[in-house]
Structure formats: C-alpha cells, structure tokens
Amino acid sequence: MISVSRGDVVLVDSAVQAQNLLTIDRSFIRRKIGSLPTGTMSDVDRCLKAALALT
C-alpha cells in the first residue's frame, strides 16, 4: 500500500492498493480528484507490475 497525503496534490489523504485490481468503464468516473508526483507514480507502477506478475 502506498500512502498519499494532501500535500501530494490530492484533495484528501488517500492510499493506493494493488492487491485487488478491477476495471471500470470511464463513464463511472465523475471527476478528477488529484494527481500524483512522478516519484509516487513510479511506486504505483512498481506495485502494479508485482501484482500482475510482470517483469
């Protein structure tokens, strides 16, 4: 799990979990609630690769 605080350009304290992945249709996304810095996105990418058993 990767913790993301309000100082990281998100509206509320959040967390990214890559253990249980699912997909949703874009029509379910109502609005963007923030963005993540490049370093945090690299951590997310690493976790997703591990969860999906990608190299």
User: How far apart (Å, rounded) are the C-alpha atoms in residues 55 and 35?
Assistant: 25
**Local mean pLDDT, 10-residue blocks, the chain (55 residues):** 69 81 92 83 90 86
Q: CA-to-CA distance for 50 and 55, rounded, in angstroms?
A: 8
3, β-bridge pairs: 15
